[in-house]
Amino acid sequence: MTDSKSAVTPPVGGALSDIAKRISETRFTMQTDDSAEGRELHRKLSSELTDYLLPRINRTRTPFLIAVGGSTGAGKSTLVNSLVGRSVSPAGVRRPTTGNPVVVHNPADAKFFESQSFLSDLPRSSDPESPTPAVVLISDDGIEPGTAVLDCPDIDSIAESNRYLARRILMSADLWMFVTTANRYADAAPWALLKDAAVRNTSVAIVLDRVPPEANREVRHHLSSLLAEAGLASSPIFSVAELDLEDGLLPHSAIYPIRSWIRQVSSEGRSQERIRQRTLSGSIGALPAQVKSLADFVETQEGAYVGLQQSLDQEFRTAHDGLSEVFSDGRVLHGEVNARWQDFVGTGQLFRGLEPTMARMRDRISAAVTGKHDAASPLHIAILRSAAISLREQAIGVVDGVNARWQRDAAGSALIDAHPELRQVAGNLEETVKAAVSGWANEVNALVRDIGQGKKSKARILSFGVAGVCAVVEYAAFWDPKHTETGGQASRNDARVALSLAGTIFGEQEAVSLVASIRDRFLGAAAGIVGDCREPFDNVLGLSAVPARQSGALRASGDRLEVAL
């Protein structure tokens, strides 16, 4: 048995190993429009490298593998049994008959197959009718040493696993013996595989089974034309007449030409090596183009993943940037909050006949609110309720925004369908928002009490009451003077009043600093709530992560092999 590595130069071997590494690292996690096609190509290349190419460039002894394949009911197993001279593979009317690959080999080659050097992910069995996936090993002295015959599952089986396994075995073989019938030789399924064989320069022999004598010449002529069009003009054609079986086997005379040809190929080292090297070289030569095609599919995966990541970043960046405006342009102060504020400061009586100077306004406000401690609590509650509603709306809005963006993308839509929890905010959002707003209110209270320890503000805070002062600075915190064009004139006036009143209590500079600090603390809490809504999306993207620069690495490895060839 000759060394298959003799035709593989070190640069080619290194390039193949690099391709195998890159393909093993490739991930198809995004449901793009072409992901199914990409996954299929990825699976084919992975199998071809693992089952065929790498064993032949890394091992000095690899048996010459002849794969017998074909459509359902073509007579593959009957042919294999007849060639061996006994029943080694299930044959019958039940379809599909062959579910597991049957490997008929010489006892001298048992160690190669038993060591799982071939189809290493499948267990070994000696039962041709094993109900679990396995490589069925049949030892037979009639098979030439260094040669094995593989009976494949049906290439058009109703079971997808059988179709995949059939292709995988064919792609792992040095020579195909393709079985078809006189009435099915033009079916589409066989020709898809045969054209792949032509691209890989795989040696193929055709067995035309159950041929009526009167149609033999016409069918062979037409089949020869189809083979030539597919690039397989040199493939030999063996005709097997429609004959009665003898103990389940074809008569010796019917299969003698096929058996003689196989023995000639198996026994003549130069002929066998010529076929082996032709298939090996063809498979290697076809690889760069396939790797580049895979890189195109992977590039789509990368683009889909990056697109989802960018849309997620953009939605949450916009949401975070908008928090400052939402909670400082006065909208929190509308509705019930405004009504409670009017009750608190007694606006109706307070501003009647008021001089239009801020100094006198502060004096009258101070006089008006003194003693109105009982009006502070409803104002405080209204502010917290309005802030909580706005915060909850921001959280729901950003989640809805991401959903809308992802639903417009095939990959994003598939992720949402697979993870329906992404469609809405967490069930504990209500409690989380309440806790955050309540915690912020406690911070405000603590700040006011801490400042009240100083002599400068203590008397004023005591005269207004801590609850009243807290309500004033909370009210002032939800309007920033820089929002001069929003909130309405009345709202802006009320907010200025609140800030002025805070200035009366703490001093103008201290009041501005305190209100800004309170506003920043609320924005920090709000950013935390909104930011937490991103975690489920990040988790799903993490589970579906597409490694960066896969496509570039694949193209580079394909180019490396092309140069080495």
Q: Give the pLDDT band of residue 103 (cuts 50, 70, 90).
A: very high
The alpha helices in 327-454, defined as continuous H runs, are 336-345, 347-350, 358-369, 376-407, 410-418, 429-451
Q: What is the per-residue burial (b if ≥16 Cβ within 10 Å, else e) of 313-337?
A: eebbeebbeebbebbbbbbbbeeeb
Boundary-marking domain end, from 217, 239, 267: 267
Residue 455 within any structural domain of the chain: yes
Please provide the DSSP assignment of 109-166 as one string.
GHHHHHTT-SSTTS-EES-TT-SS--EEEEE-TTSPTTEEEEEPPPTT-SSHHHHHHH
CA distance 379 to 502: 16
Sheet of 135-139: strand order equals 124-125, 135-139, 102-105, 147-151, 64-70, 175-181, 203-211, 237-241
Q: Please report which confidence band the pLDDT of residue 68 belongs to, taking 50, 70 and 90 as the band edges.
A: very high
Contact 75, 210 (CB under 8 A): yes
| pLDDT interval class at 362 (50, 70, 90) | very low
Q: How far is CA 180 from CA 89, 186, 262, 345, in A?
A: 18, 9, 18, 96
Q: Do 69 and 53 share a structural domain?
A: no
Residue 319 falls within a domain, yes or no?
no
152 and 262 together in one domain = yes
* Residue-range definition of the domain harbouring residue 291: 1-60+276-307+549-565
214 pLDDT exceeds 70? yes
Examine the domain organization and report whether 54 and 78 are in the same domain: no
E strands, 212-254, in order:
237-241
Report pLDDT for 91: 72
| Lowest-pLDDT choice from 53-62, 194-203, 521-530 | 53-62
Within this chain, do residues 223 and 117 fall inside the same structural domain, yes or no?
Answer: yes
Residue 187 domain-assigned?
A: yes
Per-residue pLDDT at 155 exceeds 60: yes
CATH number of the domain that 245 lies in? Answer: 3.40.50.300
**250 and 131, same structural domain?**
yes
> How many domains does the chain contain in total?
3
Highest mean pLDDT among 48-52, 76-80, 303-307, 450-454: 303-307
Per-residue pLDDT for 382 more than 90?
Answer: yes
Residues 380-391, mean pLDDT to the nearest whole number? 96
Distance, first Cα to last Cα, the chain: 25
Averaged pLDDT, 437-460: 82
Name the residue with higher pLDDT: 348 or 450.
450
The least confident of 2-6, 475-479, 534-538 is 2-6
Residue 286 half-sphere exposure, CB side, CA atoms within 13 Å? 20
Helix and strand tally (H, E) in the chain? 22, 8
Residue 130 forms part of a structural domain: yes
Structure-token match 């003698």, residue found: 256
Q: pLDDT-derived band of residue 491, with 50, 70 and 90 as boundaries?
A: low
Looking at residue 434, its pLDDT comes to 96
Same domain (yes/no): 207, 247: yes
Q: Which residues contact 207 (CB under 8 A, 6 or more apart)?
A: 70, 79, 177, 178, 179, 180, 238, 240, 258
Instruction: For residue 316, tell me if it sits in a domain.
Output: no
Which tens digits make up the pLDDT trace of 234-261?
999 999 888 888 888 999 888 899 989 9
DSSP character at residue 328: T
Instruction: Answer yes or no: do 259 and 296 share one domain.
Output: no
Nearest Cα neighbor of 230 from 269, 268, 180, 266 is: 180
Kindly tell me if the per-residue pLDDT of 486 is higher than 80: no
What is the value of pTM for the model shown?
0.80
The identity of residue 549, as a single letter, is: R
For residue 127, being part of any structural domain is answered with yes
Q: Determine the 3-state secondary structure of 353 from DSSP.
A: coil
Q: Is the pLDDT of residue 289 over 90?
A: yes
Residue 465 and residue 453 in one domain? yes
Average pLDDT taken over every residue of the chain: 86
Cβ within 8 Å of residue 490, ≥6 positions away: none
Residues 68 and 235: their CA atoms lie apart, in Å, by: 15
Beta bridge partners, 125, equal 136
Is-contact 393 361, C-beta < 8 A? no
pLDDT exceeds cutoff 60 at 357: no
Q: Is the pLDDT of residue 537 over 90?
A: yes
Task: Reply yes or no on whether the pLDDT at 58 is more than 80.
Answer: no
Shared domain for 491 and 465, answered yes or no, is yes
Residue 318 belongs to a domain: no
Model confidence band, residue 459 (pLDDT cutoffs 50, 70, 90): low
Does residue 9 register a pLDDT over 90? no
301 and 233 both lie in a single domain: no
- Output the six-digit token pair for 346: 């007694």
**Residues 528 and 417 occupy one common structural domain:** yes
Strands 203-211 and 175-181: parallel
Is 101 strand, coil or helix?
A: coil
Directed axis angle between helix 336-345 and helix 376-407, to 10°? 160
CA-CA distances (angstroms) from residue 484 to 410, 489, 493? 43, 9, 11
- Reported confidence tier of residue 233, pLDDT bands at 50, 70, 90: very high
Q: Are residues 451 and 466 in the same domain?
A: yes
- pLDDT category at 157 given cuts 50, 70, 90 is confident
Is residue 461 in a domain?
yes
494 Cβ partners below 8 Å, 6+ apart?
Answer: 333, 338, 341, 347, 475
- The alpha carbon dihedral of 411, 412, 414, 419 has a sign of positive
